[in-house]
Amino acid sequence: MNYSSENRLKKQNPQTQYPQPPFPRQPQERPGTVEDMTPRPDHGEESYKGNNRLEGRKALITGGDSGIGRAAAIAFAREGADVAINYLPEEEANAKQVIKLIEAEGRTAVAIPGDIIKEEFCEELVATAVEKMGGLDILVNNAGRQTAQKFITDITTEQFDNTFKVNVYALFWITRAAMPHLKEGASIINTASIQSFDPSANLLDYAQTKACIVSFTKSLAAQVADKGIRVNAVAPGPFWTPLQPSGGQPQDKIEEFGSSTLLKRPGQPVECAPVYVLLASQEASYITGETMGLSGGTMPF
């Protein structure tokens, strides 16, 4: 598969632009790695071209080592932003790849490993990003925990608690810590999900957290509009990221992942990148409190 920028941007059938199922079963241990995915996801490493739409901005992205966070990090750097990424220590290998790609654009790249289920670390994360970059203009709350379980009785309290800590508590802690540093023209972008609106039976706890994110986004947007800060969410559908084979979906679902969309395939992370860039940029000056769907035609609104 040709993941060049020339191929991605040329006029073509979106159904066949990227790999379609069936895919091989590929179980991974959480948190998963890009290296073990077949086919390899496109985060924009070769295919995303920037246009200086974020020149001089400073962005913090959680879950920036792989998936949608990695695609946003690459795109932001190519649009002229300095970028700090957070990730789990065991994701260091993937994170190093992203750091090299940011630095290749002549931008400041800051790697901040650590677990965001801890309130103290969330505060340190923001403080470190601000110190290393000299400020903060864009916050992307993207890191997520997803574990498929067939029945509610299969969901342990530990899993339920961890899902909410990663997806909801951390988003609150990080945003609260970031707020004093965000000035007029700043942008907060939260990664929600199609699960916010059309929850799957096997993602009971995850879907609840993503609905929380949509509500959080709208409430916070109303709070900070008078400060000149915009807050929006992106609601992806099935995207080809390590979250899926590392417990986010059962392996039989991986084989046909994305086939139920109108485009008959999963989205590639790079296909999210232009939306995150738009919401981060001044071009989205009249967009706040919104949730933008990216679901291959299956979003129920």
**CB-side exposure of 237: number of CA atoms within 13 Å?**
22
**CB-side exposure of 45: number of CA atoms within 13 Å?**
15
Catalytic residue (one of 3, 18, 48, 206): 206
Is 77:133 a contact under the CB 8 Å cutoff?
no
Residue 95 CA to residue 66 CA, distance in Å, equals: 7
- What are 53's two structure tokens? 């739409």
Q: Is 206 a catalytic residue?
A: yes
DSSP-assigned letters across all residues of 232-288: EEEEE-SB-STTIIIIIS-HHHHHTTTTTSTTSSPBPGGGTHHHHHHHHSGGGTT--
Other CB atoms within 10 A of residue 301 CB = 7
Residue 155 CA to residue 301 CA, distance in Å, equals: 29
Catalytic residues: 206
